[in-house]
Amino acid sequence: MSQRILIIGGGMAGTSLAWWLGESGVGRHTVLLEREKLLGQHATGQNAAILRSAVTPWATRALAHETGRFLRHPPKDFSDAPLLKERGLVLAEGAEGDPLPAWLEDHLEWNAVESITPTRQRQLAPHFNPEGERCWWIPSAGEIEVARLLERFAFGARRAGVRIETGREVVDWITSSGPERRLTGVRLADGEELEADVVVVAAGAWAPSLSARLSIATPMRVTRRHLMVSAPAQDVCSEWPVVWDDRAGLYARPESSGLLVSACDISEVQPEPLIADPDVRQLLAEKALRILPSCGDLSMAHFWPGLRTLTDDDVPWLGQDAEVAGLFWLAGFGGHGMSVCAAAGQLAADMLCGHSTNEELQAALAPSRQVAVAAPL
């Protein structure tokens, strides 16, 4: 008899895990609980949908690389329409003479990056005037079809027997009495209690408050970042690549005949209420004029805030809790949750089913890992 697994959270992380558990044959023993009426209403529905593997922490890179593979060659059920638009990424960072970025070596090994001259950069992205002095071309990066991917994960999970229940909020834990700290289930907002052998916290920005109820300190900070989509603009070409200036803090990609732009703003917030900061509109407009000058004065059609849950080392928390038996983490995805979703779900499912996994990767993601110094926001 398989163990009964409860997943808290129907964003991309929890839904991907549900699909992989279904694939592993334990769907009928899995329940996913989402407090909203629909899946994917928080960070999963608020993001820029960019697949980027060129990031500093190697564990995050490894997951993003695998997720890219999944999106390019998805299983049969997913392949009726593409999950990834490979527009490529022009990435500007650093200054000449700076140490080479941490992600470069494996990207060279994967044959996934090219160092480019300013002339080539202007050919690829004529609208981009970066402050970062070194430019790289990463052709396999792109734009993920988030809604389709989420829907396919949920569809496949349900078909494999996973019960996905929306409008079901977990408000408390049920623990066993005894010398060992062990979770035995959860209590829902309507008072119902559900038993479980393992509870997976895939609750995004609510992971820290859920852990606080167990007196577990999580090194996670809930932060807000804004995105805007401009009104349709004649000068924008829908085939442009993603452009990202790590030095100036700006990224952009075509969206709905205009541009989707972030000023890479960051502030620590409570997850609720999530309110947009009007000052960021100004910051966005200023940065866009500087870094995307040929696009002119982009008028904003949509502007919204989203939640990113950051860990101290920018690596997700994935694995069994160090103190409480029966508690498993799948949270802290920061700004990488779309880029790593498929591989993170697969790894978590393998661990929960006792299949052998990459031990080095598992150790790098383990909630029990030691983080030397927290990175500043």
Binding site for ligand FAD (CB under 6 A): 8-14, 33-36, 41-44, 46-50, 169-170, 202-206, 225, 227, 306-308, 331, 333-339
Query: Could you give the CA distance from residue 40 to residue 36 in angstroms, rounded to a whole number?
Result: 9
Residues 6+ apart with CB under 8 A from 179: none
Give whichever of 89 and 135 is closer to ligand FAD, judged by the CB atom.
Answer: 89
User: Six-digit token pair at 73?
Assistant: 């060659």
Instruction: Report the DSSP pairing between strands 134-138 and 89-93.
Output: antiparallel
CA 354 to chain centre: 25
Query: Could you give the CA distance from residue 191 to residue 171 in angstroms, rounded to a whole number?
Result: 9
Smallest separation (angstroms) from ligand FAD to the CB of 341: 7
Smallest separation (angstroms) from ligand FAD to the CB of 43: 3
User: Six-digit token pair at 279?
Assistant: 């000052």
Give whichever of 141 and 364 is closer to ligand FAD, judged by the CB atom.
Answer: 141
Sign of the torsion formed by the C-alpha atoms of 250, 149, 199 and 359: negative
Smallest separation (angstroms) from ligand FAD to the CB of 119: 28
Smallest separation (angstroms) from ligand FAD to the CB of 234: 26
Give whichever of 179 and 273 is closer to ligand FAD, judged by the CB atom.
Answer: 273
Give whichever of 340 and 366 is closer to ligand FAD, judged by the CB atom.
Answer: 340
Give whichever of 122 and 281 is closer to ligand FAD, judged by the CB atom.
Answer: 281
Give whichever of 106 and 133 is closer to ligand FAD, judged by the CB atom.
Answer: 106
CA separation, residue 5 to residues 31, 163, 328 (Å): 6, 11, 10
Smallest separation (angstroms) from ligand FAD to the CB of 179: 28
Judge whether 91 and 135 are in contact, CB under 8 Å.
Answer: yes
Smallest separation (angstroms) from ligand FAD to the CB of 302: 12
Smallest separation (angstroms) from ligand FAD to the CB of 65: 13
Smallest separation (angstroms) from ligand FAD to the CB of 97: 29
Give whichever of 48 and 348 is closer to ligand FAD, judged by the CB atom.
Answer: 48
Please name every residue paired with 303 in a beta bridge, in sequence order, or none if there are none.
Answer: 228
Phi first, then psi, for residue 129 (nearest 5°) are -125, 75
CB atoms within 10 A of CB 273: 6
Give whichever of 155 and 303 is closer to ligand FAD, judged by the CB atom.
Answer: 303
Looking at this protein, which amino acid is placed at residue 249? G
Smallest separation (angstroms) from ligand FAD to the CB of 49: 5
* Gap between the terminal Cα atoms of the chain: 45
Give whichever of 122 and 256 is closer to ligand FAD, judged by the CB atom.
Answer: 256
Residue 272's closest CA among 205, 207, 202, 172? Answer: 205
Query: Could you give the CA distance from residue 188 to residue 205 in angstroms, rounded to a whole number?
Result: 18
CA separation, residue 120 to residues 29, 105, 123, 225, 254 (Å): 53, 22, 5, 31, 20
Looking at this protein, which amino acid is placed at residue 369? R
Query: Could you give the CA distance from residue 31 to residue 192 in angstroms, rounded to a whole number?
Result: 14
